[in-house]
Structure 1
């Protein structure tokens, strides 16, 4: 077969692939190419197996970011596929990662998420911009989600995101949406802590929550675990804590006063990080449906021209609240209550392949509004009390040193 014929077949296959997924060929093709970093207005995201292995509903999320944000923001979709032109190695040096990442030998049940944990902070520290997980329906323009405050010289804001209540009346920042300029001191220290957990022979996060750097961190709970009373539906604590080791590293830094360089994590968290409540801004759909992916899927699939029954009313009310009062819808994976089916799992199934954008449904209405509607409300930062119980110790000083 000559080169011309081979290229024609490859092109035809690509066209059929895009048509099958109902994706606009231009944006989807553009997202699969490497783009130079021209400014700090970057959106960073990651799918370890590459764009074509990403579920169609997640691809549509990313495509809609491009539509929503316009040409001033550049969306970068990175991966760790060998020889891929969008491989992380083209943006971040290997010294930022453990051996298992660089050698491609990470294992365990959460390889993709933990590779994402290793990737997100170096990208923000080197280049600035926003990290968003691919499961994000974006409703609000990024300029209005902390970016304008971050670049304002008169504003104390240096880092923005969303906060979730991981213990009663105790909020911490999620890592699925982060926004800052390059060179952020908190971001670099956070990554340094996480990287230090990965020894030369470490290939997964098993036991990370017991590491000497993290063993003093109090246990955290998911919002669903606090409200669902069935003990069989509670996520295994050890599994959840290891999965969320990246959050535990954040908590270590937040509670640290480093005598070596004077960095006060508690002071920084209280005064320089702007946060909005995640359960309102990202996860409003969850308590509305008692964390049931089945009910969420039914709401998305409800037809706009259907009977105005209870389900229609609920879907309609939710859609308009999302347009006006939510920054995004976060469709999450990860460890979960064993009796609950999450929405991402359903949308991964072939029979629900179009449930996130079906014509004439509330899903299509939400997709349309996420691109074309702009919010007028101000995003007001939460007021969180400064944690006075800080540890005076070096960034990577093991806990055992405290008692010497």
Structure 2
């Protein structure tokens, strides 16, 4: 049957566009997939997709019936596939869909590619199914494709005569069913489409529409020379025995999308020409892969009330393997700020059913999660004297206390260490299984890295490895030595000038700090930041060290064994988009999503783009605190701390973001920075000044 809803757009003097929308509205928190059907079908071609709750829970489905099809009617008799592409883009705009992915079946494939060519800023990805990008050429026929002119020209000639009593004959209906479904469906489905085709194409108006649809097919222009101008990813599905377009066609033509960041062809065994209808499972998988996100099945989530999750966090199961995520909060989980507790619960809800145990250690004397129950805090090779004696001081004593526990925990037990301010977005379990946790993988360390592929600045807020990792073993030795200088330090103040770090550039760049009546210049701020993040400085020295006496080659180890994710896109995207303006980030994330019928404001648009970008591209998001507040005054994290509960108000972009970090997962792992072996920062023993 045809679509039951229409919307007016201005193209060709006015078109009434037949469309079908999942859940009858556009959910701004979901990506939208535009679906364009094949020759002589309607939006009902996508019944399998609309009936899939797992799919409609994940995306908005917007089926648009082309000119000459279904409920779509126009003021003019003549039109082309380019007109349908323009019409579909206008329908998107009229329905409040700014950007979308587009799937086209058979002729729909030609139309969605035209949409991407006409409005590259609006089409995020393409999923052509059982199609060709050529016109009906002799070259196509030589490669095993059908001969439409021989098959269809007699129909065109017959339908060029006015006939107020026009009814499509059984031969045409049979062709639609036999070619399209390719013998993969039963008589009930074929009968449905016989009835639908006769209903749509009846009377004089039906004759005109069908005749023009056939003309469009027979005389369409090819797109082969234009494919290099498509800028979005392309994921082509095709049946190897497709009766209309042989598999040689997509195998050759997928290579012409040379400007697409990704262009792949998947041959679906057993698929008919109308591939989405004959292979709905494979189509759904391809849609979810294209959008890059999928909803996590409920059986893989711990969706119990917060109180029950908190009980598990306070009473974790005994240690049995390396799949532990370690956190540290000096005064214990119950004393954490509510927004960081929500971070930790999300880690548990996401990963506990995949075998991960979330452990928030502390320094409370009577707590079973006291770090002393996991590590020998009296061992001078494990902890500096200030930690043992409880004399760590300075403005950031809690942060530096947590710095001192992360490497000992990882070296003894392995797993992941993360700061409580890190919101996990990407698929940690898959990343672990394919890298550190996979004996066949060369990668032994996971982290984020500052400075791109040229930089060597691993971040300490996310570290992962197996026990006794050689990189972190040396990092810990150097870190211990820095704390032992001057007879034993009680803070990190002045560590930037240690001779053991000689030759390393300091952190901070051109930052300044302005406080009341004083201004601290870039040079002094750089020293302060380097002292504050001295653990990162220790890592940089070790990964840039060649120590022949110890058999250690840091530059080579990093190039071969560290899976590092770009720090900015991977974990700081909100800050990058907002220019590190914490107040702006807070205000945007605190906005409510537009209600039904409301127009999205410019600020809501930016907030939506932030959430979409983070959920689609980032592996995590690190909420910034500590010394950085003296530079920027406010951060999203500090304002969530100040305005309790503001990170989780239903209907806001912050709440949507939090929802996504628990209920959604990415289909791809973040790309690894491809390090090359660099010149070392230092040659000689790790703990000797050179």
TM range (shorter): 0.7 to 0.9
SS at match of 1:25: helix
| 8 A Cα contact 1:243 1:335, kept in partner | yes
Give me the TM-score of the superposition, normalised by structure 1. Answer: 0.86
Q: Give 4+ residue runs of structure 1 displaced > 6 Å after superposition.
A: none
- 2:542 pairs with 1:267: no
For residue 130 of structure 1, the aligned residue among 393, 405, 416 is 416
Out of 314, 325, 330, the position equivalent to 1:32 is: 314
Task: Please state whether the residue corresponding to 1:198 is helix, strand or coil.
Answer: helix
**How far apart are the structure 2 equivalents of 1:218 and 1:318?**
32
Distance 1:220 1:355, change over 3 A: same
5+ unaligned residues in a row in structure 2: which ranges? 1-304, 513-518
The answer to whether the aligner puts 1:67 opposite 2:349 as a matched pair is yes
Structure of higher RCO (CA pairs closer than 8 Å, 6+ residues apart): 1
User: Which of these residues, 491, 496, 503, is aligned with residue 209 of structure 1?
Assistant: 496
Which of residues 344, 353, 360 in structure 1 aligns to 2:637?
344
SS at match of 1:241: helix
Partner of 1:107: 393
Normalising to structure 2: TM-score of the pair?
Answer: 0.51
Q: 2-side partners of 1:363 and 1:276: how far apart?
A: 24
Shift of 1:339: 4.5
Give the one of 539, 544, 557 matched to 1:255: 544
Deviations 1:328-365 (A, max 9, x none): 1110112225353112221221xx11111111111111
Q: Are residues 1:46 and 2:331 paired?
A: no
What is the CA distance between 1:133 and its match in structure 2?
0.7
Instruction: Name the residue aligned to 1:18.
Output: none
1:1-400 pair list within 5 angstroms: 24-33=306-315, 35-71=317-353, 72-94=355-377, 95=379, 96-165=382-451, 169-199=454-484, 200-221=487-508, 225=511, 236-305=525-594, 308-336=600-628, 338-349=631-642, 352-397=643-688, 399=689
Aligned partners of 1:140 and 1:46: how far apart in 2? 22
Indicate the SS of the match to 2:612: helix
Paired with 1:289 and 1:232, the residues of 2 have a C-alpha distance of 24
SS at match of 1:145: helix
State the partner residue of 1:4: none
Q: How much has 1:379 moved relative to structure 2?
A: 2.4
How many Å separate the matches in 1 of 2:390 and 2:316?
A: 21
Give 2:149's aligned residue: none
After superposition, what is the alpha-carbon deviation per residue over 1:80-127, rounded to whole angstroms, capped at 9, x for unaligned?
122222111111112211111111111001111111111001111111
> Alpha carbon RMSD of aligned pairs, Å?
2.1
Between the two proteins, the alignment pairs up a number of residues equal to 369
Larger radius of gyration: 2
CA distance in 2, matches of 1:233, 1:283: 25
Map of 2:86 onto structure 1: none
Partner of 1:15: none
- Conserved in 2, the CA contact under 8 Å of 1:292 and 1:340? no
Q: Distance in 2 between matches of 1:178 and 1:80?
A: 21
**8 Å contact 1:281–1:327 — kept in the other structure?**
yes
**Is the partner of 1:279 in helix, strand or coil?**
helix
Equivalent residues of 2:507, 2:527 under 8 A apart: no
Alpha-carbon distance in structure 1 between the residues aligned to 2:411 and 2:503: 27
* Distance (whole Å) between structure 2 residues aligned to residue 225 and residue 383 of structure 1: 29
Distance 2:457 2:334 in 1: 33
3-state secondary structure, aligned to 1:106: coil
Q: Contact 1:208 / 1:242 at 8 angstroms: preserved in 2?
A: yes
